[in-house]
Structure 1
Amino acid sequence: MFRGLVVYRTIPGPAGFDILRGFAASAVFRAGHSLSGSTMKPSILFLVLPLAAASCRSAEPAVTEPVSSGTPTAEPSSGDTTRGDTTPAAEPATLTDLRWELVQLNGEAVRTTEVQKEAACMLMEIEARRVTGFGGCNRFFGTYRLRDGGELEFSQMVATRMACPGVEVDESAFLKMFTSVEGHVIDGDELLLKGAEGATLAVFRAAAPAASEATE
């Protein structure tokens, strides 16, 4: 499977998000062959699918143009403290490199519709200190910082901008939620993102390790 994300520019979005203007698509092909004499003739069928259908897997975001307002873009700057020699806080093995699917947002249960086909989700990569995900319609990515005591902060968040009729997830509220996260709690197979005064902003459920998805 070939994936591509061509970004023309970014513009400031709501609640600290940048909007990526451009084209997102995946090219999926199926190959077969027929034998004629000693010649093997391949036949390839290409299908173009929206990038929004991609799962919460590791994917390098495209380089975007600098934003004049100073709003961060998809690539962290060279001065980003999340990629320095500073020793990071110890992380629970269950927090990172797992696909976390959204099950509750602002106290309301989240339902995946037939149109949506895939649950809203996120993946936090421990080595790159990066978060990638799917909001029900659009893909998003950014960086995160984890401190001792369970404190958690997301930053440099950007998202694609596509219209998806029939999706019931309040994607705008979901993406805005990340700007208010101050901590986290892991309870069994659930991840609770916490805001000010310990309020639960969102609940995720562990789905599958990223490594197992990548080897399929």
Structure 2
Amino acid sequence: MRPTIVFCFFCAAALLFACKSTSKTKRGEAAAEEQPTGGIKPLKPSNYTKLEGSWELNYISGPRIAFDGLYPDRKPEITFETAAKRVSGHNSCNSFNGPLNADDVKISFNEPMAVTKMACPGDGERVFMETLKTVTSYDVSDGKTLNFISGDIAVMRFTKK
């Protein structure tokens, strides 16, 4: 009986030491990190979190048709749910949604997306979806303007709604 008790004691001690925190911070450091005072600057929001919300297209490169001619009734919109890693929106006619593949600089729309299949007049839908697939990176400036970039050329520009 005694060897069983000793064995259980050593197992409990090993478990307690294995779960011990290895963080070697001073008491004051932890408090300073929690409250951004005393010269410690809070982190800037990343570009990725700036994507959050709905954006309306106001420029697209490529077609020789005027922007208002491509989208006479309704401008395309895109909505990012960064926590859920989802993207959705409409291309002026059909709705789409799918996974969000992005980091602080790069973004890709090459994963398969669910898209409704209504018949749409004009080339606006095709131009939007084809241009979206060429996007490789993005930039959010002043929190209100989102540029989609292909290579080093801005191919789409959105305004925050």
TM class by smaller structure:
0.5 to 0.7
Q: TM-score, normalised by structure 1?
A: 0.46
- Please show how residues 83-102 of structure 1 align to structure 2 within 5 Å: 90-96=46-52, 98-102=53-57
Instruction: Give a deviation string over 1:64-100, Cα, whole Å, max 9, x none.
Output: xxxxxxxxxxxxxxxxxxxxxxxxxx5444311x110
Residue equivalent to 2:140: 186
Alignment gaps of 5+ in structure 1: 1-89, 208-216
More helix by share: 2
- The answer to whether the Cα contact below 8 Å between 1:105 and 1:201 also exists between their aligned partners in 2 is yes
Which of structures 1 and 2 has the bigger CA Rg?
Answer: 2
Give the aligned length: 110
Query: Partner of 2:113: helix, strand, or coil?
Result: strand
- Please show how residues 21-170 of structure 1 align to structure 2 within 5 Å: 90-96=46-52, 98-106=53-61, 110-111=67-68, 112-113=71-72, 116=73, 118-148=74-104, 150-154=105-109, 155-165=111-121, 170=124
Query: Partner of 2:98: helix, strand, or coil?
Result: strand
RMSD of aligned C-alpha atoms?
2.1
Alignment gaps of 5+ in structure 2: 1-45
Q: 1:128 to 1:170 in 2, by over 3 A?
A: same
Instruction: Give a deviation string over 1:23-67, Cα, whole Å, max 9, x none.
Output: xxxxxxxxxxxxxxxxxxxxxxxxxxxxxxxxxxxxxxxxxxxxx
Letter in 1 for 2:101: R
Q: TM-score, normalised by structure 2?
A: 0.60
- The answer to whether the Cα contact below 8 Å between 1:102 and 1:110 also exists between their aligned partners in 2 is no
Divergent runs of 4+, >4 A: none
Using the aligned pairs only, state the percent identity.
Answer: 25
